[in-house]
Structure 1
Amino acid sequence: MKKLLYITANPKGLMKSKGLQIGEAFLESFRQERPDVIINRIDLFNYEIAHMDADLVSARGKLAGYGYTMDQLTEPERDKIQQMHAVANEFMDNQYYVFVSPVWNLNLPAILKAYLDNLFVAGKTFDYTPDGPKGLLTGKRAIHIQTRGGLYTNTPLGELESGDRYLKIALSFLGIEVMDSVIFEGFDYYPTKIEEMMASAKEKARIAAKLFSQSMMSV
């Protein structure tokens, strides 16, 4: 049975987060279209991951480039690299991915970047070849739902937004097909129109979910 991993990066919770509410509208529509797909959830602010500290960087280098075995690592190195592999394995067990995140300071929330770091495992999610790195997660598909308080589209800020751009680059590097992102912006500019904007955003999210579910047929 096919699986979809729904990954959120917002600590506000459903009642306060516009992005999470829009994401739920997406999921509701998706379930109606594809009740056969199992949906798994990850809330990154309530999820344990290894961060790229000295132990993890050392462990990756030793295993990838210096011929060490797992048994030859220090205990902290071994614990963290095993945790990284567990995160990557969980991710790989799914075929479809929905990321829901806000723009924070022109970029992704740091916790989402840390999660993506855990997916870069040589020999598992990508490999080094004579022609350069090659993603191994082919036949999978992802979409990003992003909320922005500011106005980025067709403005000077558009060149500065790095979060959506990086997520697409990272997933594509791993071999995943990335659909056009679903962007909702300007909430901070029009505080008196939030209710109207949210209604429109949820409807667009439902439409995007239908398109995403239809596109899955070809994967």
Structure 2
Amino acid sequence: MDKILFINACVRGISISRTYKIANRFLQECKKLNPNCSITELTLTDLPITCFSNDNLKNKEKLLEQGDYQNPMFNLARQFASASKIVIAAPFWEFSFPAILKVYIENIAVLGITFTYNSDGMVGMCKAEKMLFITTRGGVFTEADTCELEMGSRYLEALCKMFGIDQYECLYAEGLDIIGNNVDDIISEAIKKAINLAAEF
């Protein structure tokens, strides 16, 4: 059975988030096509996670030295590592994504759970075969003169290599804040793409 982990970093809330609207429609279609799949939604703003401090890092290192991988501190990392597919939804902020998503990533990056090292270097330990990143952007960041400014999707794609996730895709709706653009049409087109992606996910 597919275990989809949906990481919701739409900090504005589900009622007004354009990103969440697309992501929710994608997940509805996944459930429709595969009723037996399990979808677990993590709303990051509801989680008691914070940036690491020196004390937190010392505690983390101590637990890892003891081999205490079942400690509650690593619950999120174990959950991420055991998912068969990952969906992340986050808006495009300051060329990447909201800080809460980076905080989450720091909490799941645990040596011995989501990645490890061998004689050849870093090796991913996650079971997920696919990651889909769903995002919305006010401007256009797919043109030759702006694509290098987009760092959110590129960061997550690199993270897949760290965690051993072979397939990565980004579904985006952009140009939403450009005066004169039809926002509803752009969102509708992204939802159509989301529905098509669900059939292959």
Which residues of 2 match residues 1-150 of structure 1 at below 5 A?
A: 1-62=1-62, 68-69=65-66, 82-138=71-127, 140-150=129-139
TM-score by length of 1: 0.83
Is residue 149–residue 189 contact of structure 1 (8 Å, CA) maintained in 2? yes
Aligned residues: 200
Is residue 5–residue 86 contact of structure 2 (8 Å, CA) maintained in 1? yes
Decide whether aligned partners of structure 1 residues 151 and 133 sit closer, same or farther in structure 2, where only a CA change above 3 A counts.
same
Decide whether aligned partners of structure 1 residues 148 and 62 sit closer, same or farther in structure 2, where only a CA change above 3 A counts.
same
Shift of 1:37: 0.4
1:156 match: secondary structure: coil
Comparing 170-179 with 20-29, greater Cα deviation is found at 170-179
Decide whether aligned partners of structure 1 residues 191 and 26 sit closer, same or farther in structure 2, where only a CA change above 3 A counts.
farther
Does structure 1 residue 187 correspond to structure 2 residue 176? yes
Decide whether aligned partners of structure 1 residues 206 and 160 sit closer, same or farther in structure 2, where only a CA change above 3 A counts.
same
CA RMSD of aligned residues (A): 2.1
TM-score by length of 2: 0.90
Distance 1:41 1:84 in 2: 19
2:199 match: secondary structure: helix
What CA deviation, in whole Å up to 9, does each residue of 1:2-39 have, x standing for no partner?
31111111122222111110111111211111111011
Structure 2 stretches lacking a partner, 5+ long? none
Structure 1 stretches lacking a partner, 5+ long? 72-80, 213-219
% same residue: 31
Q: Which has the larger radius of gyration?
A: 1
Map of 2:153 onto structure 1: 164
Shift of 1:205: 1.2
Is residue 49–residue 87 contact of structure 1 (8 Å, CA) maintained in 2? no
Is residue 9–residue 44 contact of structure 2 (8 Å, CA) maintained in 1? yes
Is residue 172–residue 178 contact of structure 1 (8 Å, CA) maintained in 2? no
Distance 1:190 1:22 in 2: 21
Distance 1:9 1:191 in 2: 28
